[in-house]
């Protein structure tokens, strides 16, 4: 942690203690004098699944169920045909991100841009629907992912996805990214929250 970050946190802690009064410090809060240790459930809300599927929850969902959920929860923003509207376009655009034609702008969608299907699950689970984020159950999120990927012709129309099969989905732009050349800045996999 940088000196500036430590200083900012210390100033914030002093402000909270001065304004709100000091409370009995917990083991985790002794450094700055406020807060409490996060519970396992609270930490679980901040752990995203990794591309290989570690961290995905139990559950499953079919393309057919996903279409129903999409029509009820998503079509108003993303369009009945996933073409976009108030929300982003979800399908199409393959091959448009890298081209030499100035008249052919890139179309950034789940189909053309996202490298991992597990990221799509995580995004939908946390951020959608816009008016009530994180309100969908795991089965509905798996179903939505199955439906979107089916409409993008990435998985067959009779697909049912779960924590095992989702990580095996190969996205069209999987190889469209450059690997991070700074692996030393990240903790070893064995020390990540997904190592279990």
Largest CA distance in the chain: 64
- Closest by alpha carbon to 154, among 103, 96, 115? 115
Distance in angstroms (rounded) separating the CA atoms of residues 124 and 90: 12
**Is there a single domain that holds both residue 144 and residue 67?**
yes
Please state the pTM of the whole predicted model: 0.72
pLDDT digits (tens, 9 = 90+) for 120-145: 999 999 999 999 999 999 999 999 99
- Does the pLDDT at position 9 exceed 70? no
Q: Is 124 exposed, middle or buried (0-12, 13-18, 19+ CB in 10 A)?
A: buried
pLDDT at 30: 59
For residue 123, give the CATH number of its domain.
Answer: 1.10.760.10
Q: Residue 76 contacts by C-beta under 8 Å, 6 or more apart in sequence? A: 85, 86
**Is there a single domain that holds both residue 14 and residue 78?**
no
pLDDT digits (tens, 9 = 90+) for 85-103: 999 999 999 988 887 777 8
Overall number of domains in the chain: 2
Tell me which residue range forms the domain holding 28: 3-37
């Amino acid at each position: 942690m940088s000196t500036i970050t430590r200083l900012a946190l210390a100033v914030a802690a002093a402000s909270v203690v001065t304004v709100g009064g000091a409370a009995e410090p917990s083991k985790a809060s002794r450094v700055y004098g406020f807060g409490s240790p996060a519970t396992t459930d609270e930490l679980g809300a901040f752990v995203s699944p990794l591309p290989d599927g570690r961290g995905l929850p139990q559950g499953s969902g079919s393309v057919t169920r996903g279409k129903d959920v999409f029509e009820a929860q998503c079509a108003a923003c993303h369009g009945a045909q996933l073409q976009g509207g108030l929300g982003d376009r979800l399908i199409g655009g393959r091959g448009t991100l890298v081209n030499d034609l100035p008249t052919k702008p890139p179309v950034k969608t789940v189909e053309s841009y996202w490298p991992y299907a597990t990221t799509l699950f995580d995004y939908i689970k946390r951020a959608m629907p816009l008016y009530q984020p994180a309100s969908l159950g795991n089965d509905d999120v798996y179903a939505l992912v199955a439906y979107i990927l089916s409409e993008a012709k990435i998985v067959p129309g009779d697909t049912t996805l779960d924590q095992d099969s989702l990580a095996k989905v190969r996205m069209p732009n999987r190889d469209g990214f450059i690997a991070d050349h700074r692996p030393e800045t990240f903790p070893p996999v064995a020390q990540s929250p997904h190592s279990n």
